[in-house]
Structure 1
Amino acid sequence: MKNFIYLLFGCLLTAIGVTILGHSQIVTGGTAGLALSSSYIFELPFYMVFFLINIPFYIFSVLRMGWKFTFLTVLSISMLSTMTYFSYWLPEMTFTPLLGGIIGSVFIGFGLSTLFLNGSSLGGANILALYLQKKFDWDPGKVNFVFDFMVVLSGFYYLGLVNGMYSVMTIAIYSSIISYFKNQIKEKTHKTEQKQLILKTS
């Protein structure tokens, strides 16, 4: 129950961040960024695109990270999709790209870190970042930044150079927040693996 509350809290923080970025005409990285970009281009709801775009990554997650992690990831994606769906009912908010980018990225950074610390993610590059940390001890924040930067580059065409640069700023901010928690994330992952090993051998 405690773990679920943390996941709910992490999704809420991330949903607030994504909503603020959306109202600021800024994209983020990862599958959330792809979904946000696609929702602009095809004029589809973010929550729908975000859920569908993550489906291929579930297979990789099951093979490399296990069923429990995959289940919690699907749960987190579903919760975030639901929260962003209801955000469309909220009054229109207006943020400058600079202010919206800073505030939104801070919410996303702490939201993703909360999910990572509780054995979950939001799919896509999140899964790959955690896998590479687990396998090669790579910094998940830096891995996220590289992949998210490539996603943001795809949004420069319709966002323009200025808003595109603000988008790069946002991924740099929340990737730095994730990097700050990298040791705690690694330790949490190691403890979870030890518990699973004990259960298997008992």
Structure 2
Amino acid sequence: MDAIDTFDIENLSVEILHDDTCMDLEDALGECEIKLCSFEPHSTLSDLNEFGSAEEILAECKKGTFTPFLLYKYEHGQVMYTAVEAGGEVGYPFSDRWDAGCVGFILVPVEGYDEPLEAANSYLSSVTDWCNGSIYGYTIADDDGEQLDSCWGFVGFEWVEQAAKEAAQALLEHLPKQLEIAGLSV
């Protein structure tokens, strides 16, 4: 597997690689109270929908537990999802109307989210990354090429890059102590 990015932090070599083992959206994004309600046929997102119809979604929202947003999708080679406020003058979120449209709803719990539209679009950014295969892992090796650490399943490049840098820094801080305990010199 070829590295997407490599960089050194002192005497450690970090490689960022594509993770092709993260196939399940719920596993990739973890548990979340935000609900995707897509009615697209043959869509992974439709499999996550626990509602049978738009009427069921609206009935749930009338209980006051969720703030609903329209779920729009743009697909042309890759895919992009975004949330738009329902009601009133709904602005169209994409410039291309041929490859885009409203495919369902995204529901954000009323409790716990000060900016529900921002929360919806942040979540959809991760969904978009997952749908486009932007799943990564990293390895960290010493200057002899011995792998010291690795971690996989990061959705979005910025997250794996940040985690890899933090892990390398943590190794640099703790490695001398571990060598000392083992009776080895640095």
TM-score class normalised by the smaller sequence: under 0.3
Q: TM-score by structure 2 length?
A: 0.26
User: Relative contact order (alpha carbons < 8 A, sep ≥ 6): 1 or 2 greater?
Assistant: 1
**TM-score after normalising by structure 1:** 0.25
**Larger helix fraction of residues:** 1
Query: Which of the pair has more CA radius of gyration?
Result: 2
| Structure with more of its chain in strand, by fraction | 2
